Amino acid sequence: MIIGIDTSCYTTSLAIIDRGGNLIEDARKVLSVKPGRRGLQQSEAVFQHVQNLPFLLEKVSQKIDFTEIKAVCVSTKPRPVEKSYMPVFTVSHGFGKVLALGKQISLFLTTHQEGHLMAGIWSAKGPEGKEFLAVHLSGGTSEVLRVKKHKTGFFIEILGATGDLHAGQFVDRIGVALGMPFPAGSHLEKLAATYSGEIPYLKTGVKGYDFSFSGPETAARKLLAEGNPPEAVARAVEQCVATTLEKVLRRAVSDTGLKEILIVGGVAANSYIRQRLVYRLEHRAVGAKLFFAEPVYSTDNAVGIAQIGLLIYNNNEKNK
């Protein structure tokens, strides 16, 4: 079996898969954020990860035989680019080193973003092509990507990204303003689902492949101040995110000729955003084919990290 570890900004994750890629264990613990706050400092997140990982390891050890673990794969940084760094990932890296040394097994390194892409492909059963478009949409990343598969991971080119707030920050800030706990995504989605009237307009900030959510956040706060129903503003936020992505992806499909689009990250779990994008982009005029990870694998997890570990393990065995 292969064990994957990911310590992101808001979730401690551990997953175990077998040699066939079947999921054996998926253990996670969302980091605690005090009511009214809109996030955690890296030092606070690191402290919680250090407490959480032994707890999760003990939890899964009661269900599996650790003598069958052949390798550990960990996320060591946000993206597969030079100088990509966040303190939180030093926890998964360090813990993975200790586990690998203690068990005398191989340690493989990957990135948080590649883990999201792999979890998406594994969960959605696609894209099948060697090259495809992807969207990584979360509280810490909002990027439109051109992705090429290779034997043990991905080559990733950023086509466009937010210049200010990430999509998840936009959702969370309006959610907290509405009195919701952080992270607010699932709560805002539930509130928005109760609304069936005309959706208030929020202007999107798109320029080429790049986009912005700071303007829409200000506009959404103005809608609240003007007395618009909270559920209407929640729906407007969802529609703004979906319309922003639609504009960028239409251009990307036209420019690259790539039709397969994988959408991952916590915000991608939102059902309204998914339905809107499918309706607008799988239309004959665009002809795209969208792939979404199951909601449970859209949010931060170590399942994709473990799957990448299996790719590396199998590639190493083949080359012996």
What pLDDT digit, counting tens, does each position of 59-85 carry? 999 889 989 999 999 999 999 988 999
- d(CA 250, CA 303) in angstroms, rounded, equals 30
SS3 state at 279: helix
Question: Which residues of the chain fall short of a pLDDT of 70?
Answer: none
Strand order through the sheet with 153-161: 153-161, 142-150, 131-137, 260-264, 289-292
- d(CA 293, CA 300) in angstroms, rounded, equals 11
pTM of the model: 0.94
At 48, the amino acid letter reads Q
Q: Which residues have CB under 8 Å from 151's CB, separation 6+?
A: 311, 315
Helical ranges in the chain per DSSP H: 42-61, 89-103, 112-124, 167-177, 185-192, 214-225, 230-256, 271-281, 295-298, 303-318
Cβ of 88: how many Cβ atoms within 10 Å?
A: 28
**Which pLDDT score, from 0 to 100, does residue 204 have?**
96
SS3 state at 203: coil
**Which pLDDT score, from 0 to 100, does residue 320 have?**
82
Mean pLDDT of the chain: 95
**Which pLDDT score, from 0 to 100, does residue 162 have?**
95
- Contact 106/313 with Cβ under 8 angstroms? yes
Domains and CATH numbers, the chain: 2-117+299-318 (3.30.420.40), 126-293 (3.30.420.40)
**Which pLDDT score, from 0 to 100, does residue 195 have?**
97
* H/E run at residue 160: strand 153-161
SS3 state at 152: coil
**Which pLDDT score, from 0 to 100, does residue 39 have?**
83
SS3 state at 286: coil
At 100, the amino acid letter reads A
User: Contacts from 190-197 at CB under 8 Å and sequence distance 24+?
Assistant: 191/230, 191/231, 191/234, 192/231, 192/234, 192/235, 192/237, 192/238, 192/272, 193/272, 194/231, 195/229, 195/231, 195/232, 195/234, 195/235, 197/229, 197/232
pLDDT in tens, 285-295: 899 999 998 99
Work out the burial of residue 230: count CB atoms within 10 Å of its CB; fewer than 13 is exposed, 13-18 middle, 19 or more buried.
buried
* Residues of the chain above pLDDT 70, percent: 100
**Which pLDDT score, from 0 to 100, does residue 93 have?**
98
The structure tokens 């979890």 sit at 119
